[in-house]
Structure 1
C-alpha cells in the first residue's frame, strides 16, 4: 500500500495543504492498521469467527468470557493482530502488510482485507469529516455575510456624513474639503503674486514721482495715450515757432497755438495722474483679493482638521469591512472544497499490489537458510585462509630456501585433496603430481652420466609435512623407471607406511630385523608396484632401546646395496628425535621435506644445520602440499603465468 497525498480530497495546492506527509505521518498510518477496530471490521467482513482456523483460539479461552458474539469477535480480532505485521519500506511512502497463517488462502484474504478495510474506513472518515466541516462552514458563512453587510452599510453611511467621495478617505480622493483646498491654494498663491507685483509697481511709481514728477513714472512713459498727446504737443510747438516768427506773439494764430499747447499739457498731466491712481487702485484690489482668498483657505483648513478624525475613522471602518469580506471569500472557498470532498470517495492510501495465495510457506525458509549457511561457511573459510596466510611463517619460494638454507629446490609437489596422494603414481601416472616426482628424481639422480646416489633418505624438520607420502611416491617413481628399488621405513614410532601401501600388513618388519628376531629376507616383501620391494614397520615401536645407534642398520644397508639400484629411506623428523640423525649419515643423499607455507624457516634451518653438522649430505629441499597457482610450481622458478601454461602437458585422467 502506498500513502499518496495527491489523492487527499481536502488538499489545496495554493495554501500548501496536502503537502508530502512526514515520516511520523506514515508511521501513524502503519499503527492505525494495527487497531482493534480495523481488525474487528476484517473479522466481520471475512466471517472469521466461523472459520475452523480460529475456533482453537475460542476453545482455548474461558467460555464464560466469550458468551456474546462481540466478545468472540474481539478475541478473533486479537488473534488476527498477533499475526499481522505492517512495516514501512525504508524511507518510502510504501507500507508492507503481511499476515502469517497456516492456511495460505486465509493469509492472502486477511492481508487484502486489512488494506481494503483501511481504505474504506479512511474514505468514510474523510467524507464524514468533510460533511461536518461543510455544515460548520455554512453557519459561519451566514454570520460572516451579515457582518460584511453591516460593515459595508456603516462605511457608506459614515462616508456620506463626512463628505468622503473617494474610495480611500486618506488616499487621492479624500473628502470634499480636500478637493477644494488644492485649487484654492493655487489661487491664493497666484493672487499673492499679483498683489506683490501691484505693490511693486505702485512703490516704483511713487518713487519716480518723488524724484522727477509724473513724467518719470514708467507706466506714464509707456502709455500710448500720453505718447499720442506728446506727439500732438510737439507738432503744436513747431507750429507755434513758425507762427510766432511769421505773425508775432500777439497774433490770434499764435495765441491759438499757445492755447492748444496749454490744453495738451493739461491732458498729459491728467492722464499721468490717472495712471498713477490706477496703479494704486490695482494694488488695493489685489490686496483685497488676497485677503479674501486667504480667509477662505483658512476656513477650509480649519474644516479639514475637523474632518481628518472622521476620515481616519472611515478608513478604519473600511479596512474592517475589507477584512470581513476577505474572510468571507476564504470561508466560501473552504466550504466549496469541503462540499466537493463529501461527494468524492478518494483516499490517501492506494493498494499497489494485492496479496496472492502463496504457493509455499515462508517459514522456515530452507533454501534461504542453506544459502546463508553456505555464505557464512565461505566467509569463515576465506577468513580462516586469510588468517592462515597472514599468520603463516613458512617458506614459499625457491629464493627463500636458497637464502635460509643455502641448498636448491629439487621439486615442488602440488597439494592433492585425496586420502593417499602416493596412489596417484599408480592411478594417474601422467598427472602433474606424478610429473613433480619425476622432476624430483631428475634433480636427485642427475641427468648426466655420473654416479647417482644409491641410498636416498627423506626427512623433515617437523611431523606432518608429507615426508612419508613423498618417500613412498618417490620410490614408486624410481620403480616405474625400471630401477629395482627398496623402500625402508625408518620412522618406527609412527609406522604410517603400512596404511599407505596396498599390500597386506605382515608381522615381520624392520624392528624385528634390527632386534635379530627375523632375517632380512623375512622382513623384505614385494610391494604393489613392480620393481619395488619394501621393508616396513609392522607396529609402532616405543622403547628406550637404541635401534639405530649400533651397526645393525649399517649392516642392513650394506647387505641390500648389491641387490637394488636404489634404496629409499623414510626417516623420522630431525627435530625432537635422534633416530633420523643416526641414519642420515648412512645415506648417500638426504632430501629435506618442507611443507610449503607452513614449515617455519627457523625450524627448517635448524634441521639443515643438524644434518650438516652430523655429516649428512643434504642435496636439497622438496616443497610438499604446494598450491597449484604458486610461483614455485611449473618449473620451480617460473611465474604463475608460465606455471598455468604447463597444464597442457599433464593429463588428469
Structure 2
C-alpha cells in the first residue's frame, strides 16, 4: 500500500469491484442523456426516415389503385306492420338483430349468390385481382404454356377445380367486402373495393339485391314450412276433435243423457218443476191471505171493510147502497123527530136487516176463498212431491255428468284449437302469396371517381413515422450496444477512479528515418520514431493531448509523494488501445520538463513500442536481464527531450515472460535505473490477455490505465480491475485515448471534460 502525502487530494472511495452487471442507475431515465442520445443518433434516425419515405414512395408507385363503392340499406320494419300477425314471424329489430344482419350479408350464402349472379368465377380480371405478384407471374407462365387456350379448345373443369375456384372467389370477396352499421341507426353500409370502379359499384349493388332476395326467400320458406306444418297439424286436430265429439255423443247415449237446446232433459224438467212449485206456493199464500182477510172482516163485523170480491159483487153493492140510504134517512129523522119515532125505528130495523144480508153474502164469498185455499194447498203439495221425486232421480246421474263434462271440455278444447289453427293457416297462406321484406335500398353504389387505396398522404406519413420508429429503434440499439467509456463521469461512476482526461485521436504521419547522430565525437544511438503521433507532446506541447498527460504527471506526483524515483506503469485492458503511444508521449513530456526519464518496453510478447521508435535496435531488455549486456549499453536516446529508452528486442517467441518480469534480474534493473533517473515509465503488456502485469505489480509505484474511447467495454474494465485489487489501489487514474472530438461533444453535458473542450482552450492550446 502506498502512503499518500499529507494534504494530497483524496480520490473517490473505491467500490466493491466484483464481476457483476452494470448498476441499475445506468438505466435511469435522464432527460439530458436522452437528448444527447437523440443528438448522437440523429443521422441514423434521419437516414431511417429517408429510407421509410423512399419505401413509401416506391409502394405508391408500384401499388395498384383500388376503388371503393358503397350501397346503403335501411332495415325498417314499420312498412310491413300490416302484414304482421300474432304468429310471431315478424318481430321488431333491436341492436343485436341489426348486427346479425351485418353478419348475414357477409355470409358465404350471400357471397355465393353474388358470384353466381355476376359470373365472377368466369371473370379472369376478378379472379386475378386477389393474387400476389408471384401468383400473377405463375399464372402468366401457365397461360403462356396453355396450348389448349391457344388452340381455342375449352377444357371442362373437374369438381375439385370448380370448388377451388369457388373458394378463391370467396376469399377475394371476403378480403374486399366491408359491411358496417352507421352509428346507432338502422342503416347498413355495404362497401366493396376493386381495381375497376364499375366493378366495385356492380358488386356492391349485387350484394344489396342479393340480401333483399335472400330475405324474401327466407320469409317465403318460413311461411311455406309453417303452412305445411299447420296443415298437418290441422288434420290431426280435426281428427281429434271429431273423435272427442263422438265420444261425448256416445257417452250421452249410453247413459241416457238426452239434451234439449244444449241442456239435459232431466235438468230442464227439474227447472220447470221448481218454477211451478214457486208459483204454487205463491198462489197458496195469496189464497190464504184472501181467506184470512174476509174471515177477519166477518168476525169483527166491519161494514166499512171491503175485499175485491165484495166490491165486484152486485148483490153486496146493492145492499150496501140500500144500507147507506136507510142510514141516511135514519139520521135525518132521528135528528128531526127523535130516535123513538116510528120512522126512525123502521129505518133502524132496515139497516139491521141489510147488514145481516151483507154479512151472509160475505160468508158465501169466504167459503169460496176457503175452497180456493184448499185447492192451492193441494196443488202445492202435489208439485212438491213430484219435485222431490225428480231431485232423487237427478242425484243418481251427478257422477255420470262429471265424466260427461270432462269429455265436453276436451271436445271443446280440440274444437277451439282446430278453429285457431285454421285461422293461422289462412293467414299464413295469405303471407305466402304476399311476401314483404323489412329492408330496402336507400342509396345505390355509383362508380367512384377517386381511388380509396392507397391513401397517399397516409402512406407517406405512416412510412415516415415507421422509418422514424425504426431509426429510433436502431439508435436505441446502438446506444445500448455502446458499452465503452465516453465521459469522465462514466469513469468515476463505474470504476471509482480518478479521470485524468481525454486524448484525442491523432492523424498518422510517417516520419523519415534520420540515422544515428554523433555528439562530442562519440557515437550515440538515438530512437527513430516512424509515426508523428509518437512525438505529439514534443511537437505540440500546448495541445490538449499534452495537457492531459500533464494532469497524469500531477496525479503521479501526488500519489507517489516524495519518493525519489517514481516507477510508473502504463497498462491497458486489450492490445491496440494506444498504451505504447501514451507511454512514449508521457515519457517524452516528463523528459522535456527536465526530469531524468527512462522508458522501458516490458511487453515482451508484443513489443509495439520498440517497433514504433527503435525498430532497428539489436539489443534491449532481454539482453540486460540475461546479463549479456549492461543497462547503459542497451539504452537509446531521444535527441529532442533527452529521453532514454530501453527497447525490447525479441528475436524469438518467449513463453515465460511473467517469470522474467518477476525475476531478481528485473528488480536489479529497476534498482540500478533508480540511481540515475527521476521517472521510470514502464510500458506493460495488456491486462486481459496475459498475467505479466500481476507479476511486476509489486515493483511498480503507480499505474496509468489507458482505455480506448468508446471501444473497451465498461464491464470488462470493471471485471479486470476486480480481479487485481493491488493494481486498482495503485492506479493513479484513467485516460481515455483515441477520442473523436466532434463526437465527444455529444456525450458531454457541459462540454467541460478535458482541456481541449474548455472555453479557454483557444487561448492556451495549439
TM-score of the superposition, structure 2-length normalised? 0.36
**Of the two structures, which has the highest relative contact order with CA contacts closer than 8 Å and spacing of 6 or more?**
2
TM-score of the superposition, structure 1-length normalised? 0.41
